[in-house]
Amino acid sequence: MGIDPNYRSKPVIGDHSGHKIYSPQDQPPVPKEKALGVHGTIVGVDFDVCIADGSCITACPVNVFQWFDTPGHPASEKKADPINEQACIFCMACVNVCPVAAIDVKPP
């Protein structure tokens, strides 16, 4: 199960490092009480799907991502956070290398 491509239509539940956080999937792949939702609008990362293998961080030519600690999260204890999503050049490298399809990229 990857990121919900319609996550942008879900409620915004917060803000983090200048980007929105969208409500978790209706049936997240982690326990609901530990669900973190999707971070980012242009570059969305489903924090509940992300396993933190780092391939997106390495592949991104414009440094969109930065590690963010998520201690105790069942999928991984850190996430690739799209803190610089405005720099995205829509090359889709991150989407193409993510082994769990946790990333979705769409122009604003």
**Known binding positions for Zn(2+):** 16, 19, 39, 81
Q: What mean pLDDT value characterizes the chain?
A: 96
Question: What would the pLDDT profile of 48-82 be if each residue is shown by its tens digit?
Answer: 999 999 999 999 999 999 999 999 999 999 999 99
Q: How far apart are CA 38 and CA 4, in angstroms?
A: 9
3: left (phi over 0), alpha (psi -120 to 50) or beta: beta
- Per-residue model confidence (pLDDT) at position 96: 98
Q: Is the pTM of this model over 0.75?
A: yes
**Known binding positions:** 16, 19, 39, 50, 56, 60, 81, 88, 91, 94, 98
pLDDT confidence band for 1 (50 / 70 / 90): confident
**Known binding positions for [3Fe-4S] cluster:** 50, 56, 98
Domains, the chain, with CATH or none: 7-105 (3.30.70.20)
CB 101 within 8 A of CB 25: no
Quick one: average pLDDT of 23-37? 92
